[in-house]
């Protein structure tokens, strides 16, 4: 009976989180997007025999997520729902690792129980990237928890010489580094704490961890050895011209953190309505006061054994964010690792108040969940729903996908050219019966990057076809440009509008994007 009671909070949190995911999946509150379609296509191709190491078209973001989605396809059949099930299952594993890490980290067991309960209903930011996939964030959060957990084990005085903990730390760290370079924010504090307690007698364990790191990240290392260290160069990230450290810090404070705290949707600069905003501000101001003045509130203090691990994690994360190119994107996804600290600190605070007066502790947990649930409901019922697309021009209504595919098949226009956000989605949804090469611009300034062409086989198929169609989305200027150029070339065509999709079809001859001045702009 005691054993059952030990897991009551964890089981309840898992059921609550699973229930929320099921509602979001069944209500189709999370639109299917182009990046997710690439992962889905990778999974489909894995089942057909391909063995990608990284996300198509780039030398970073390991393909672990695609492999797990491929397993999901085996179990549940190909489709967006299977992708959602895999991501939801990953979040449940995240909750388990969160609970286990907190149980090990704190002397007070209630902190772990309240932490997992709070995380069962996360803010919209976390819900977005743990329901839809961009290629590895769900796995990174799990692996990050394990790195900190194992890191604590090997730096704790009772566990410093347990060889399999060192090996497991290296293996997990290597896999995490292959999946996403953001694993560095977890490895840094463990490395610094370990360095502080350096001892010559443990050198063999350091070597064991290093060997495990190389083995766990072997896919990354092998790719580098065969591609002139391309993956290493990719760690520098996108160009950051015009972004100063101050700009990144400002973006983190004004955009990133409010989304992480559940005060706004990550794709909108606007905060949630005043009632939710007030709940959030009161909660987090109270939390900040507790953390800053904990020494003066001995009766509320929670005895913890965290040492410096979490503190170094926070400092290291902020430093990495504002100094590296991760800080260019302050929309929130790169702040996901900080959710662990936020949850643990809120659980600390709730437990301290719980000790003082149980009803107040319950109220704090309830208000956090209410804040996040309210934000999730507002996001799910908004026009864009819970989207990973932060530019309105790339956010689409999925309800017209079937009508579009039916039209293309009925008119024999199953190949041609479109933009990144259409081409891969339609290819996956049609089981690659409809192939469009992503060689059209989608931005208002008509700029284009050849990086959009992530799977060259589609371009080759389109370029070899004698009949092609063009699909644009939410871009009247591009439509006018296409009409003018087709007419100047003496090419006749028909047009059809289906939802947000504009189709140019029945062209009198196959026209390539290069002839129109598209598809070849340098990235």
160 shares its domain with 301: yes
| Centroid of chain to Cα 506 | 39
188 shares its domain with 219: yes
Alpha carbon dihedral 464, 470, 473, 479, in 10-degree steps, equals 130
Position 157 scores a pLDDT of 65
Can you tell me the distance from the alpha carbon of 170 to that of 313, in angstroms, rounded to the nearest whole number?
18
Domain termination site, one of 347, 380, 413: 380
Position 302 scores a pLDDT of 46
357 shares its domain with 410: no
375 shares its domain with 422: no
Q: Are 301 and 352 in contact (CB under 8 A)?
A: yes
Domain termination site, one of 380, 404, 424: 380
Can you tell me the distance from the alpha carbon of 144 to that of 187, in angstroms, rounded to the nearest whole number?
8
Q: Does this model's pTM top 0.85?
A: yes
- The answer to whether position 452 is within a domain reads yes
**Maximum C-alpha span of the chain:** 83
Domain termination site, one of 346, 380, 414: 380
- The answer to whether position 386 is within a domain reads no
**Digits of tens for pLDDT over the chain (523 positions)?**
455 578 999 999 999 999 999 999 999 999 999 999 999 999 999 999 999 999 999 988 999 999 999 999 999 999 999 999 999 999 999 999 999 999 999 888 999 999 999 999 999 999 999 999 999 999 999 999 999 999 999 987 666 778 899 999 999 999 999 999 999 999 999 999 888 878 778 889 999 999 999 999 999 999 999 988 888 887 765 555 567 888 888 888 888 899 999 999 998 889 999 999 999 999 999 999 988 876 455 444 444 445 578 888 999 999 888 887 777 777 778 999 999 999 999 999 999 999 889 999 999 999 999 999 999 999 999 999 999 988 888 888 889 999 999 999 999 999 999 999 999 999 999 999 999 999 999 988 888 888 899 999 999 999 999 999 999 999 999 999 999 999 999 999 999 999 999 999 999 999 999 999 886 654 4
Position 300 scores a pLDDT of 45
Give the total number of structural domains in the chain.
2
| Centroid of chain to Cα 239 | 21
Position 31 scores a pLDDT of 94
- The answer to whether position 199 is within a domain reads yes
94 shares its domain with 119: yes
Q: How many CA atoms lie within 13 A of 50 on its CB side?
A: 18
Q: CA distances (Å), 5 to each of 1, 16, 229, 365, in order?
A: 6, 17, 51, 20
Range of the domain at 476: 394-516
- The answer to whether position 457 is within a domain reads yes
Position 321 scores a pLDDT of 85
- The answer to whether position 385 is within a domain reads no
193 shares its domain with 230: yes
Can you tell me the distance from the alpha carbon of 310 to that of 348, in angstroms, rounded to the nearest whole number?
13
371 shares its domain with 413: no
165 shares its domain with 136: yes
Q: SS3 for 355?
A: helix
406 shares its domain with 368: no
182 shares its domain with 314: yes
460 shares its domain with 348: no
End-to-end CA distance of the chain: 62
- The answer to whether position 261 is within a domain reads yes
404 shares its domain with 312: no
Write the DSSP string, 436-461: EEE-S--STT----GGG---HHHHHH
| Centroid of chain to Cα 59 | 17
Position 242 scores a pLDDT of 60
- The answer to whether position 251 is within a domain reads yes
Position 303 scores a pLDDT of 42
Position 201 scores a pLDDT of 80
Position 236 scores a pLDDT of 64
Q: Are 317 and 338 in contact (CB under 8 A)?
A: yes
- The answer to whether position 388 is within a domain reads no
């Amino acid at each position: 009976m005691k054993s059952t009671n030990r897991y009551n909070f964890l089981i309840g949190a898992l059921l609550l989180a699973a229930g929320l995911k099921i509602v979001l999946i069944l209500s189709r509150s999370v639109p299917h997007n182009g990046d997710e379609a690439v992962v889905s296509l990778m999974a489909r191709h894995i089942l057909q025999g391909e063995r990608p190491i990284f996300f198509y078209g780039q030398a970073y973001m390991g393909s672990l997520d695609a492999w797990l989605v491929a397993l999901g396809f085996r179990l549940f059949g190909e489709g967006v729902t299977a992708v959602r099930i895999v991501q939801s299952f990953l979040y449940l594993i995240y909750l388990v690792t969160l609970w286990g890490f907190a149980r090990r980290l704190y002397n007070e067991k209630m902190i772990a129980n309240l932490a997992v309960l709070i995380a069962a209903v996360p803010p919209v930011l976390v819900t977005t990237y743990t329901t839809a996939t961009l290629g590895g964030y769900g796995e990174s959060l799990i692996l990050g928890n394990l790195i900190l957990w194992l890191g604590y084990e090997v730096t704790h005085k009772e566990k410093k010489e347990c060889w399999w903990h060192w090996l497991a730390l290296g293996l997990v760290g290597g896999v995490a580094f292959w999946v996403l370079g953001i694993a560095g924010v977890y490895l840094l504090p463990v490395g610094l704490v370990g360095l502080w307690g350096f001892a010559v007698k443990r050198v063999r364990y350091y070597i064991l961890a290093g060997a495990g790191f190389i083995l766990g990240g072997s896919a990354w290392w092998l790719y580098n050895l065969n591609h002139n260290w391309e993956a290493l160069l990719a760690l520098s990230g996108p160009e950051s011209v015009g972004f100063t450290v101050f700009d990144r810090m400002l973006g983190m404070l004004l955009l990133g953190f409010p989304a992480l705290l559940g005060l706004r949707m990550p794709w909108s600069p606007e905060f949630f309505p005043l009632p939710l905003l007030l709940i959030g501000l009161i909660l987090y101001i109270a939390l900040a006061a507790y953390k800053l003045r904990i020494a003066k509130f001995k009766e509320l203090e929670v005895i913890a054994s965290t040492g410096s691990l979490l503190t170094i994690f926070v400092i290291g994360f902020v430093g990495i964010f504002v100094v590296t190119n991760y800080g260019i994107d302050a929309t929130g996804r790169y702040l996901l690792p900080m959710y662990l600290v936020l949850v643990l600190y809120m659980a600390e605070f709730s437990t301290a108040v719980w000790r003082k007066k149980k009803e107040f502790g319950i109220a704090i947990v309830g208000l956090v969940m209410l804040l996040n649930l309210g934000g999730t409901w507002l996001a799910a019922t908004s026009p864009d729903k819970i989207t990973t697309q932060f530019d309105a021009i790339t956010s689409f209504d999925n309800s017209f996908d079937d009508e579009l595919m039916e039209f293309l098949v009925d008119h024999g226009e199953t190949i041609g050219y479109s933009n990144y956000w259409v081409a891969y989605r339609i290819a996956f949804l049609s089981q690659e019966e409809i192939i469009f090469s992503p060689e059209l611009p989608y931005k208002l300034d008509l700029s284009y990057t050849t990086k959009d062409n992530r799977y060259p086989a589609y371009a080759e198929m389109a370029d070899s076809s004698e009949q092609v169609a063009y699909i644009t989305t939410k871009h009247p200027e591009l439509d006018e440009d296409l009409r003018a150029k087709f007419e100047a070339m003496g090419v006749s065509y028909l047009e059809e509008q289906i939802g947000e999709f504009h189709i140019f079809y029945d062209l009198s001859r196959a026209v390539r994007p290069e002839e129109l001045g598209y598809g070849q702009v340098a990235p």
